[in-house]
Amino acid sequence: MSQMENPIAIIVHGGAGNIPPERYELVQTGCREAAARGWAILAAGGSALDAVEAAVQAMEDNPAFNAGRGSVLNAAGEVEMDAGIMDGATGQAGAVTLIRHFQHPISLARAVMTSTHHLILGGEGAEAFAQKMGFEPVPNDFFITERRLAQYRRRIQAASADTVGAVALDAAGHVASANSTGGVSFKLPGRIGDSPIPGAGFYADDRFGAVATTGQGEHIIRAGLSFLVMRLLAEGQPAPEAAARASDLFRIRVSEGEAGWIVVDAEGNVGVGHTSQNISFAWRTSDEDDFVTGIA
């Protein structure tokens, strides 16, 4: 471990699915930039919660990903976004669903956690809350890129590989998890995936670690995928082993399950696992001098 007394770590994902080789560089660069944003906060002694929010915000701003600007379109040709965040120190969580007009759904999720006594706000109510909290609305068109429009027009379904998420451990020993997505392409308006559901799309508990998942939301919710991984951490498995072993548990419950997940444990080890064809990721821990990026 380099100089620092307590370990710190961050790992981000840029989505699970079928990632075409020509996009490898783009998504790995985006993952690395997001991880770097979070790492800078952790290295300066900041919180895991701030780090995962900043990392996810960076990817919401990056049109390469299926979150914020660049989100996939639903069956009506519009963007509806979900996001969730959890604080491992307090066990508090916040989430938003069906967001159509706000640039950083992850920050709305955090505001739900800190400024309401609810956990999930959806649709019009969530957007009215956002406005009340001072977030600036933008037209739905803002989120729609040429690439997503072309995929929609050509009925390309396999565009759901670019959802984003992050988990981190800070120097105070706290973990946090965050996820943000435009969901799956051609989803029915009103469809909600796993990303805003604690225990499915994300979870964080200082005693054990934190998890964020990506992939087919319906599969992830049915399996309670984040809880499956948390259970392995709670049994004492380090993050790499827990991440690897979760595939079997997931597939036992949902045999056709298509997903990926990132994990950090309370000691600052990280892990990544998937049953989907690919998952993109970037991480850095106190054991590394630089970021590790990859497509598994």
Report, as residue numbers or ranges, the catalytic residues.
Answer: 163
- Does residue 74 touch ligand ASP according to CB under 6 A? no
Q: Pick one of 57, 71, 107, 214: the residue that binds ligand ASP (CB under 6 A).
A: 214
Binding map of ligand ASP across residues 25-64, x = CB under 6 A, - = no contact: ----------------------------------------
Q: Least Å distance between CB 279 and ligand ASP? A: 10
- Does residue 269 touch ligand ASP according to CB under 6 A? no
Q: Least Å distance between CB 73 and ligand ASP? A: 13
Nearer to ligand ASP, 14 or 268 (CB): 14
Ramachandran angles phi, psi of 136, nearest 5°:
-85, 125
Nearer to ligand ASP, 58 or 89 (CB): 58
Q: Least Å distance between CB 253 and ligand ASP? A: 16
Helices 24-43 and 48-61: angle between axes, nearest 10 degrees: 150
- Does residue 94 touch ligand ASP according to CB under 6 A? no
Q: How many CA atoms, within 13 angstroms, populate the side-chain half-sphere of residue 253?
A: 17
Q: Where are the alpha helices (DSSP H) in 74-183?
A: 105-115, 123-132, 146-153
Nearer to ligand ASP, 14 or 88 (CB): 14
Nearer to ligand ASP, 66 or 269 (CB): 66
Nearest to 223 by CA among 260, 187, 170, 186: 260
Residue 237 bridge partners (DSSP): none
- Does residue 180 touch ligand ASP according to CB under 6 A? no
Nearest to 271 by CA among 243, 290, 250, 229: 243
Q: Pick one of 217, 257, 268, 273: the residue that binds ligand ASP (CB under 6 A).
A: 217
Binding residues with ligand ASP: total (CB under 6 A): 14
Q: Least Å distance between CB 163 and ligand ASP? A: 3
Q: Pick one of 53, 60, 194, 258: the residue that binds ligand ASP (CB under 6 A).
A: 194
Query: CA 110, 269, 166: angle at the middle one, nearest 5?
Result: 25
Binding map of ligand ASP across residues 103-142, x = CB under 6 A, - = no contact: ----------------------------------------
Nearest to 50 by CA among 108, 107, 94, 4: 107
Q: Which residues bind ligand ASP (CB under 6 A)?
A: 15, 66, 160, 163, 181, 183-184, 193-195, 214-217
